[in-house]
Amino acid sequence: MVRIPVTGIGVIAPGAIGLDAFRRLLAEGRSAVADVERFDTTGLSAHKAALVNGFSPRDFIAPMKMRRMNALSRLGLAAAKLAIDDAGAAPGQNTGVAIGTAFGPVQTSVEYMQDYVEKGAALAPPQLFAESVANAPGSHIAIEWNLRGFNLTTTQRESSVLAAAMYASSQLLKGTVDAALIGGVEEANEMLFSVLDRLGALAHANGAVLDEAARPFDRRRNGLVLGEGGCVLVAGNGGTRKPYAWLSGFGVARDTTASISDWGSDPSSVAAAMRAAIDDAELTPDDIDAVYASANGSRRGDDVEARAIELLFGARMPAVVATKGIFGEYAAGGALQLASAIVAIDEQRLHASVGSDESDLAVNRSVRGAELRHVLVNAISAGGGIVCAVVSREAA
C-alpha cells in the first residue's frame, strides 16, 4: 500500500485537552480513570470511568452552532478543529470525513424518547431527533468546513475507528479525495454505564483483594473501564507540517467463534488480520518494532489477543503496549490508541502499559526510548470483528 501521511492530531481526551497535554499524559504513564461524579453509580458494581474534564466547547464552537449540537458532536468538532489547526492549513472541499463510534449519541436518544413518551410526537424536539443518529458528529464536521468528500460513520464496537481509517485510506489511495479527517468519538453517560455494568463488562472491585481499575493483559483483570472523548487525525494532503507518521497497511478478519456480545477464542483469526496488515504494508513480522494492543481488561478479549501475538511473532516478540488502562475503552479509546502509536513513532518513545502489572505476556511497563520504524495497531471487537493497521516512520 502507498503510505498516507498524518499531518495533524486533535485530542479531547480524559486527562488531556490538546496534543501537548496528551503527550504529557502518555509520558507520565498515569491513568485518567477516576471515580464517576457526573451521575449516580449507587447500586452498581462499577464506580469509575475515564471522563473528559475541563473541556469547554465554547473555546472551539460558536454559541449559536453549539446550541444545535449534542455532547458527542461537540467532542468531535472540537477535536477536528484542533487537528486542522495542528496540520497548519484549512482542509479543501475535496476532503472526506470518516468517524468511528461504538454507541453513538446514546444520551440524546434517551432525551428524545423521554420527550416523545411524555409530550407526544408532535411536541418532541425535532432537533433532538436529528442529533440522535450516529453520524451527527461527522455531519457537523463536514458542514463546519464545507467538506464535499465522502462522509462515513462506522459503528463496529472496539474496532470502529480502525475500520473508518481503513475506508478513508482506501479512498485516499484511489484519489477520490485529497485529504481525510479520521477519528473517533464516544460519550460516557448513565444509561450506557449502567447497561455495561449490568452485563458484567465493567471492571469492578473485589472486596479488599482488588481495587477497581483497567488492567489490560493482567491476570487479575475483570472488565474494561468506560472512556469517552474525541480524537481526529488529518491524513493525506491536508496539512503543511511534516508528517508525524504514515499509515502504511491494513488487515481485516473475523473470529467466527465470537458471540454477538463477547470476544471469541480463535487466535488464528486475530493473527491473520495482523499478518494481513503487515503484508499490506509490504513488510514482514520481523519489521514490526511494537504492537499497540487492543487489550482493555476483558477476560476473553485480552486472552485471544495475547495468544495471537505469540502465535504470529513467536520468539521474536516486539514490544507490546496496552494504552487503554490510561483512557478507557470504545471508539474514542480506539482513536486515542491509534494517536498514541503515532505519537510513539514521532517521539521514538514507547509508552507504559498502565495497569498491566501481573501479565503472562511481556508487556512494556515503563516509558522508554526505542527505535520505532513500524508499529502494529490492533482493534478486536466483541462480536468478532478485527481490524489491524501498521503505522510507519517513513514515507517508503
pLDDT tens digits, one per residue of 6-29: 999 999 999 999 999 999 999 999
* Statement: residue 345 has pLDDT above 80: yes
Q: Can you name the CATH fold of 246-392?
A: Peroxisomal Thiolase; Chain A, domain 1 (3.40.47)
pLDDT tens digits, one per residue of 354-395: 999 999 899 999 999 999 999 999 999 999 999 999 999 999
Between 297 and 114, whose confidence is greater?
Answer: 297
The rounded distance, in Å, linking the Cα atoms of 109 and 123 is: 15
pLDDT tens digits, one per residue of 154-209: 999 999 999 999 999 999 999 999 999 999 999 999 999 999 999 999 999 987 77
pTM of this prediction exceeds 0.85: yes
Answer for the pair 42, 109: CB distance below 8 angstroms, yes or no.
no
* Statement: residue 242 has pLDDT above 70: yes
* Statement: residue 63 has pLDDT above 70: yes
* Statement: residue 288 has pLDDT above 80: yes
| Domain 246-392 in the same topology as domain 4-236 | yes
Q: Is 127 exposed, middle or buried (0-12, 13-18, 19+ CB in 10 A)?
A: middle
Percent of the chain with pLDDT over 70: 99
The rounded distance, in Å, linking the Cα atoms of 324 and 377 is: 13
The rounded distance, in Å, linking the Cα atoms of 325 and 246 is: 25
pLDDT of residue 370: 98
* Statement: residue 110 has pLDDT above 80: no
- Please give the grid coordinates belonging to residue 315: 520468539
Nearest to 84 by CA among 162, 142, 14, 169: 142
pLDDT band at 236 (very low <50, low <70, confident <90, very high): very high
The mean pLDDT of the chain is 94
pLDDT of residue 3: 97
pLDDT band at 112 (very low <50, low <70, confident <90, very high): low
The whole-number average pLDDT for the span 45-68 is: 94
The whole-number average pLDDT for the span 112-117 is: 71
Q: Where are the domains of the chain?
A: 4-236, 246-392
The whole-number average pLDDT for the span 93-102 is: 97
The rounded distance, in Å, linking the Cα atoms of 343 and 159 is: 20
The whole-number average pLDDT for the span 105-132 is: 76
Ramachandran area for residue 17 (φ above 0: left; ψ -120 to 50: alpha; else beta): beta
pLDDT band at 125 (very low <50, low <70, confident <90, very high): confident
The whole-number average pLDDT for the span 217-243 is: 95
Q: Can you name the CATH fold of 4-236?
A: Peroxisomal Thiolase; Chain A, domain 1 (3.40.47)
The rounded distance, in Å, linking the Cα atoms of 317 and 321 is: 12
Q: Which of 37-41, 60-64, 119-123 shows the lowest per-residue confidence on average (mean pLDDT)?
A: 119-123
